[in-house]
Chains A and B, each alone.
Chain A
Amino acid sequence: MSHLTDLPAWAAIPVCILLLLGSGITLIGSLGLIRLKTFYGRLHAPTLGASAGIILICLASMITFAVLQNRWIVHEILIIVFVVVTTPVTLMLLGQSALYRDRIEENDGVPRKAAGQQTDTTGMDI
């Protein structure tokens, strides 16, 4: 869009590279979400976008507007921090509930809790 054309070449090139890298990584993560077979596998895929992808894209944004407005732009750091802090919480909750469900339904391929932590004699630990 229009901002890119205003950007001097020395800044435009790293911005483009960062953007492409970031969106590429996010795309890979999204593809993984579709392609991976099990839920636990899938759980990992979108983290690519939520970590590396977001960092790279935010960096690109920082450079762009810092150059354009000729001042330090730090808002994006906040974005990075919050996304990096909060996304794992979601994934953790998802993972835990999936595990919980699988254990209740006694599905195959679900690890039991480690022997030391086991508190339930039936083995159906929760």
Chain B
Amino acid sequence: MLLILVLAPFAGSLAAICIPTQKGTAAAWLAGSIALLCLVISAGLYTVISSGTPLRYDAAWLPELGLNLTLRMDGFAWMFASLVAAIGLLVVIYARYYMSASDPVPRFFALFLAFMGAMLGVVLSGNLILLAIFWELTSIISFLLIGYWHHNANARDGARMALTVTGTGGLCMFVGLMLIGHIVGSYDLDVVLSSGNVIRDHPLYTTVLILILLGVLTKSAQFPFHFWLPHAMAAPTPVSAYLHSATLVKAGVFLLTRLWPVMAGTDEWFWIVGLAGLTTLLLGAYFAIFQQDLKGLLAYSTISHLGLITVLLSLGSPLAAVAAIFHTMNHATFKASLFMAAGIIDHETGTRDMRRLSGLFRYMPITATLAMVASASMAGVPLLNGFLSKEMFFAEAIETHKYNILDTLTPYVATIASMFAVTYSIRFIHSVFFGPPPQDLPKVPHEPPHWMLAPIYFLVFSCLVVGVIPALTIGPFLHTAVQSVLGIATPVYSLAVWHGWNLPLFMSLIALVCGVGLFLVMKPYLTTSIEGPPFFRRLEGQRIFERVLVTLSWKWARSIEMRAGTRRLQPQMRILVAVALVAAAVTLLLQGFKPAAIAFRSIDPAFALIWLIGMICAIGAAYQAKFHRLAALVLLGGAGLVTCLTFVWLSAPDLAATQLLVEIVTTVLILLGLRWLPKRIENPDDPELMTISTRLRRLRDLATAVFAGIGMMLISYTVMTRELPETISSYFLERAYSEGGGTNVVNVILVDFRGFDTLGEIAVLCIVALTVFALLLRFRPATESLETPEQQRVQNAFDDDHPDRKKGDSIAEYLLVPSVIMRWMFPVIGMLAAFLFFRGHDLPGGGFAAGIAMSIAFILQYMAGGTRWVEERLRIHPLRWMAIGLLVATATGLGSWLFGYPFLTSHAQYASLPVLGKIPLATAILFDLGVFALVLGATVLILIALAHQSVRAPRAQMRAAKMAAKENA
């Protein structure tokens, strides 16, 4: 049942998002029925809960990490869950009439349901981590809800601020909860609740407390994090009504109460929570008086009332906790109804500005009456529920809990804040409903549809009933909730309306009288004043927040980027290599690394000669790299060939074949890229260029390179000369044929034993190819290499001069013989690729080699005919090939599930075909086909990216010419 309770809203949310935008009513019905279902479920669970034992639902999720899907419902959670569901239902009914048909209503209800689900999750989770997850969910979904009208800049800003503040707080809280889990040794709520002393005595207590309070205070909009709440008023009113009464901001108070038994009672708790609560209580009430926006007033009043609850919780006495829980419920009822009333006023008149509204009583008497009762409850007028919890608050405020200044101040602050509450409540009613009839309102006001008022009827009625006969109505439920929080410490309390002439009553009276007096004094000022309280107007939280954000995310980020970042490749590479060098050197030296002694023994002279050539090539390549790129590339090819030969020499034909093919492709691709590099310096030995700093820089780079190289050599030499430990290679050798169905062990490992690795690798290849493509797509070559090369220009000019020649004739003539040969090679290379592919499973070859071979064929075509020629004749879709490759490989792996084997299990069989005879057919060959297609696609994609550069370049050239012309003009 608990699971249904939490999951039903999410399921409903998914369903609601699928409802077409026009069918708003259907979405409302759906949301309403889900809310009703939740309400019915929680109502049905009451009999179980009221017996005192919490209801639990456990499902193992990540039991190794102590993370289970534990849902737990005790009296307190029950009370909150019912509140969430009940007010949810009322808000849905209200929203059905509030939302206009032009809004995407199903999206609203989808978000609303998701939010309800997240909130129920927070309330019901029996695991701290689960709680944190739902907590973050409420932050995110409230972000979406507040920003529901995302075309409105205020809504976007408000949503972003709410998310930033509550999200940051949530992160801190998450750390705090993890620390609790660390202290207690379990994330289970039951365990945590029973180990209060362990937590309070732990040295990390203060840290935990501060972290969790950061989460709680940001969520509940307590000072100094209160500023986001008024800005969240940009949300549709039903959202505000829901967020402010029963859900989002109450989540903070909920957690505070939840952890009250384990965290409260210490001095730190008292000071931090109490200070925040008192400040919020007073400031919120004070600010509320000066709001001109109806919802703004209610928002600050919410802040103030949350402050009241926080103060109650800070006191650390059980009676205060009772009052806190009671006030949470009362506040939810009257605040939800007030928000709905404000929404109706906004809806029917088109404005929420209290300076423009007046005398609405004659137009909407029912709304006015209901709002008056609700705001009287907010002000704490006797015979309403707000009065009861306020009396309890006063009683607790007078009580001395700790001997310090804060405790002494509490009753005074409480009275003053209460006085402010009376003032803003009267202001709310008076300015809207009384006075002369309103002038030039956007709409002519009238009573809203009957069903829009129904939720308010219900809420106000419950305010009244609870206020008059508390013990009979709310009593038992409150008792269950209180008992689940306080356990055996549950104090004796009385819910009676009349406690006799005592101090709290006097305080109430003082507050009422002074509040009315204050309103009368301030009335003239308030009807004309601008938005915001005097003195504090300038000190706006939002502005500070924005400034902090700008500083953090813009100024500091920029300056860090300026200092630490560079757009040039050389410093990046230098830093990369240097850091790697230092990191390796430090760790190795600290660990006492001793390079193996280099021993020359049994050196084959021929092999040594080959290596000598390779080394000379490599050094030559490095030496020529800066000033003669072509020569460097040729030498690089030489070094690559030597590597190939080494593989052959050491009996690794697979590697050799692949290396050879890769070598060809890279050389050609780099060759193609050379054209776009900036021109080399003509005279490198120019004394003007060879300043001391240049020399020093080169010396430093040389040193870095040499050290890195020597280090690599030492490490690899040491590793390679070690005794080989017991490896699994013998296993592979034995099983390659019996289990993989192939005699080429390398290939069998790639496509079968380590198929999953290969799948990952080809996925990476895919990403790399796409990245290269994307980078080259945005690549703008250096200005000096933008223009057409000299040769092309001369040839084109020649062709242009002769009327009987077309552009490109010269180059075609030059390339006549080569291009014919290259075109003829296409099928041949294709054949070779097929050959490599099919023999792959048993002999050197395989999908990778075949893919590269095939891509060489394509490169040749591009070289022979030019980009346009090829693409007119061949359909080249590397992206599709890559996609198909990845899909085929994955599908092959998934195919084994059909037969009940684990992912990527392969099956080998020999098939006899006519002509060809017996050929091995393992499912791995399909996988290999995927590898083939992907490699081919990736290589050709990079090739195309380079090739298209030259097609694109003329356009860039034209642009550049235009720019130059403009500048000259």
Contact = CB atoms under 8 A, between A and B. Distances in A.
B810 A126 contact: yes
Contact of B821 (A85, A96, A100): A85
Interface stretch (A40-48, A49-57, A86-94): A86-94
A120 interface: yes
Contacts of A93: 815, 818
Given A86-B825, A119-B802, A126 B794 contact: yes
A77 interface: no
B818 A100 contact: no
A100 B817 contact: no
Contacts of A86: 821, 825
B704 interface: no
Contacts of A126: 794-795, 798, 810
A104 interface: yes
B691 interface: no
Interface string A84-126: 0110010011001000100010000000000000011000001
B821 A120 contact: no
Interface string A24-63: 0000000000000000000000000000000000000000
A114 to B, nearest CB: 15
B814 interface: yes
A104 B794 CA distance: 10
A96 B817 CA distance: 11
Contacts of B822: 89
B422 to A, nearest CB: 96
A126 B815 CA distance: 13
A89 B798 contact: no
B791 interface: yes
Contacts of A104: 794
Contacts of A119: 802
A113 to B, nearest CB: 12
Contact of A92 (B798, B817, B825): B817
Contacts of B794: 104, 126
Contacts of B825: 86
Interface in B749-806: 791, 794-795, 798, 802
B813 to A, nearest CB: 10
Nearest to B814: A96
A116 B67 CA distance: 90
B861 to A, nearest CB: 14
Instruction: Using C-beta atoms within 8 Å of the partner chain, give the interface range for chain B.
Output: 10 to 19
Interface in B800-837: 802, 810, 814-815, 817-818, 821-822, 825, 828
A62 B791 CA distance: 45
A126 B814 CA distance: 10
B674 to A, nearest CB: 15
Interface of chain A: mostly helix, strand, loop or mixed: helix
A89 B818 contact: yes
B263 to A, nearest CB: 80
A96 B814 CA distance: 7
A100 B791 contact: yes
Contacts of B798: 120, 126
A124 to B, nearest CB: 9
Interface in B820-875: 821-822, 825, 828
Contacts of B817: 89, 92
Contacts of B828: 82
Interface string B553-578: 00000000000000000000000000
B799 to A, nearest CB: 10
Nearest to A119: B802
B795 A92 contact: no
Contacts of A92: 817-818
A96 B821 CA distance: 16
B797 to A, nearest CB: 10
B267 to A, nearest CB: 86
B192 to A, nearest CB: 73
A93 B820 CA distance: 13
Interface in B5-62: none
A120 B802 CA distance: 9
B102 to A, nearest CB: 69
B657 to A, nearest CB: 14
Contacts of B795: 126
A96 B819 CA distance: 14
Contacts of A82: 828
Contacts of A96: 814
A93 B819 CA distance: 10
A126 B801 CA distance: 13
B617 to A, nearest CB: 15
A93 B798 CA distance: 20
A60 B314 CA distance: 96
A108 B535 CA distance: 93
Nearest to A126: B798
Nearest to B790: A104
A123 to B, nearest CB: 13
A61 to B, nearest CB: 14
A86 B815 CA distance: 14
Nearest to A124: B794
A92 B810 CA distance: 16
Most buried by B among A89, A93, A100: A89
The 9 closest A-B pairs by CB, nearest first: A89-B818, A89-B821, A126-B798, A96-B814, A93-B818, A92-B817, A126-B794, A126-B795, A126-B810
Given A86-B825, A89-B822, A126-B798, 12 more contacts: A82-B828, A85-B821, A89-B817, A89-B818, A89-B821, A92-B817, A92-B818, A96-B814, A100-B791, A104-B794, A119-B802, A126-B794
22 contacts: A82-B828, A85-B821, A86-B821, A86-B825, A89-B817, A89-B818, A89-B821, A89-B822, A92-B817, A92-B818, A93-B815, A93-B818, A96-B814, A100-B791, A100-B814, A104-B794, A119-B802, A120-B798, A126-B794, A126-B795, A126-B798, A126-B810
Interface of A: 82, 85-86, 89, 92-93, 96, 100, 104, 119-120, 126
